[in-house]
Structure 1
Amino acid sequence: MKAMVYTEPNKVEIRDIPEPTLKEGSVKLKIKYCGVCGSDISIFHGKHPRAKAPLVLGHEFLGEVAVDGKKFKKGDRVVAYPLLSCGDCLPCRTGSAHVCNTLGLIGIDVQGAISEYAYVDEDVLFRVPEGVSDKAAAVIEPLAVIVRAIHQSNFKALDTAAVIGAGPIGMITGMMLKHMGASKVFISDIDEKRLEKAREFGMVAVNAKSESLNDAVKSATEGEGADVLFECSGAEVSVMQMTDITKVGGTICLVSIPKTPLKINLRDINFKEQHLVGTRVYTKEEFRQAVEYSAVINEDLEKIVSHIIPLKDSENVFDMIANPEFGTVKVLVDCTDV
């Protein structure tokens, strides 16, 4: 079967590889779409601490059951909860398996799904609701990331929200906040094409090259600041600004995961009694909620997808994502086009 294989830093190849062995409890999936994630980009550049070449990338995938299993039948469209937890550590024993001490992920710690076929444990599969398009279904995994982040932030309807970074995660964050009743959603980035997309979703888009997110938020809130702020960029300059943009008693949710330590204004956290909370992935229940919610926001999830690349032509997908001229938001690999 054909698959995208990470072979060394800054290089992937489309290779013919053997199909994996079917294990007890697993089911064979014909992969339709697989999204390219920020973690895949990190792996591509050789900066992920666990990913080792050769590795089939991909954990954001939509598959079609190819052979009847015990729970799913041939033709069922499914998405997979891709986390790999040990089941024995303290987080696993106390209901937090999503932050297992040795947490792994499909496409990082085991072979991924940017491939024609994959074999996945039936216990982690969820049936895609009727009416959800294939494109929208392929975005369910990053949607689950945002479900978790919003839960962590204690966001409430009519809150004013700020999002730093209009990449796929930031864009879905803003979109979800709008759906959940935010009074205003401000989003900043330096990519004007992404900001144009954000405006289509009803967000107040701020180009950080020429405008101040802090000024825009303060102007709309009588100088108070945002109730909640979601940091989705991982840029040090943004991390330094986030406490100023957020109001007294407000919440800052760190959605991005910087690869190196960054400076932060802890004085503001003290003086403004702000709440700083991290978020990593999602619980299995939150993944289920994302599957269910995809039926409500199907059309907007489709709009998040900016590019679909055939598997056979995807060796340069990371270069395309890095090139601002393409204006990528969410890129899917069509694993049926080999």
Structure 2
Amino acid sequence: MKALVYTGPKKAEFKEVPDPVPKAGYVKVAMKYCGICGSDIGIFLGTHPRAKAPLVLGHEFLGEVCEDTKKFKKGDRVVAYPLLSCGHCLPCRTGNAHVCNTLRLIGIDVDGGISEYAYVDEDVLFKVPDTVSDKAAVVIEPLAVIVRAIHQSGFKALDTAAVIGAGPIGIITGMMLKHMGASKIFISDIDEGRLKKAEEFGMIAVNVKTLDMEEVTKAATAGEGVDVLFECSGAEIAAIQMSKITRVGGTICLVSVHKAPHKVDLRDINFKEQHIVGTRVYTKEEFRQAVEYSAQIKDDLEKIVSHVVPLKSSESVFDLIADSKNGTVKVVIDCKDI
């Protein structure tokens, strides 16, 4: 079968690979779409700490079940909870398998879904609601990331919120906050195209090339700052600014994984009695909730997908994303177009 394979730093090849091998309890899935994640970019660049070549990329996949099973009918569209936990460490034993001490993921530690077919553990597959389009369904995995982040943040209806970074995760964060009743949502970036997309979803877009995020948010919140801030950029400047933008007693939720230590104003955290909380992927229940949420916000989810690349042309997908002139937001691979 054909697949997109990471073969070494800055090398991704559309190539023939062996057909997947059947396993007991696993279901053959014909891939339809697979999203490109920031972690896939890190793998391509050779900077991911675990991914090793050769590797079939992709953990944000949507597919069709190829045979009737106890749980599914042939033709059912499914998405997969891609986390692989050991089941034995302290986090796993205490209900936190999503932060397993040796957490692995499909598409990072084992072959993923940018391919024609895969065998997937039936227990991690979820049926996509019939009302949800393919383009919306392929965004369910990143949506689950946001479900977890919002749970971690303690966000409440009518809270004011700031999102730093208008990539796919940042925009979906703002989208979910809107649907959950945020009174104001500010989002910052330097990419005008992505900020315009955020404005379409009702967010207050702040281009930090020309505007100061702290000044904008405080001017709109009687000088106080926002109730909850979601850091989705991984940028060094965001680490120092996040406590300035957040009000006294507010919460900072770290959604992005910062690749290096950055300066944080810990005095603000003391004097303003702020809360900082981390978030990492999602629980299996939160993934299920994301599947359910997808039916409620399907129209917005579909709009996140800016580019669809045929599997046969997928070798060029990382060049497409790297060139800011292309205006990418969420890029997905059409795994049936070979």
Distance between the aligned counterparts of 2:105 and 2:275, measured in 1? 29
Q: Read off the aligned partner of 2:60 and give its amino acid letter.
A: E
Q: Which residue is equivalent to 2:114?
A: 114
Distance between the aligned counterparts of 2:282 and 2:316, measured in 1? 30
Q: Does 2:52 align with 1:52?
A: yes
Q: Which residue is equivalent to 2:224?
A: 224
Per-residue CA deviations over 1:9-65 (Å, capped at 9, x if unaligned) read 011000111112110000000000000000000101000010000000000010000
RMSD across aligned C-alpha pairs, in angstroms? 0.6
Distance between the aligned counterparts of 2:15 and 2:93, measured in 1? 40
User: Any idea what SS the aligned residue of 2:332 has?
Assistant: strand
User: Any idea what SS the aligned residue of 1:295 has?
Assistant: helix
Q: Which residue is equivalent to 2:177?
A: 177
TM-score, reference length from structure 2: 0.99
Distance between the aligned counterparts of 1:77 and 1:126, measured in 2? 8
Q: Does 2:12 align with 1:4?
A: no
Q: Does 2:4 align with 1:21?
A: no
Please list every run of 5 or more consecutive structure 1 residues that lacks an aligned counterpart in the other structure. Answer: none
Quote how far apart the aligned CAs of 1:67 are.
1.9
Quote how far apart the aligned CAs of 1:122 are.
0.3
Q: How does 1:48-127 map to 2 (within 5 A)?
A: 48-127=48-127
Quote how far apart the aligned CAs of 1:69 are.
2.5
Q: Which residue is equivalent to 2:140?
A: 140
Please list every run of 5 or more consecutive structure 2 residues that lacks an aligned counterpart in the other structure. Answer: none
User: Any idea what SS the aligned residue of 1:317 has?
Assistant: helix
Q: How does 1:1-338 map to 2 (within 5 A)?
A: 1-338=1-338
Distance between the aligned counterparts of 2:159 and 2:323, measured in 1? 35
Distance between the aligned counterparts of 1:211 and 1:170, measured in 2? 18
Per-residue CA deviations over 1:212-260 (Å, capped at 9, x if unaligned) read 1111100000100000000000000111100000000000000000111
Distance between the aligned counterparts of 1:322 and 1:262, measured in 2? 24
Quote how far apart the aligned CAs of 1:188 are.
0.3
TM-score, reference length from structure 1: 0.99
Q: Read off the aligned partner of 2:54 and give its amino acid letter.
A: P
Q: Read off the aligned partner of 1:207 and give its amino acid letter.
A: N
Q: Read off the aligned partner of 1:60 and give its amino acid letter.
A: E
Quote how far apart the aligned CAs of 1:68 are.
2.1
Q: Read off the aligned partner of 2:105 and give its amino acid letter.
A: L
Quote how far apart the aligned CAs of 1:263 are.
1.3
Distance between the aligned counterparts of 2:112 and 2:242, measured in 1? 35
Per-residue CA deviations over 1:242-291 (Å, capped at 9, x if unaligned) read 00000000000000001111111111111100000000000000000000
What percentage of residue pairs aligned between the two structures are identical? 76
User: Any idea what SS the aligned residue of 2:48 has?
Assistant: coil
Distance between the aligned counterparts of 1:258 and 1:334, measured in 2? 30
Give the number of equivalent residue pairs: 338
Per-residue CA deviations over 1:60-100 (Å, capped at 9, x if unaligned) read 01000012223212100000000000000000000000000
Quote how far apart the aligned CAs of 1:183 are.
0.3
CA contact (8 A) 1:36 1:332 kept: yes
Quote how far apart the aligned CAs of 1:292 are.
0.3
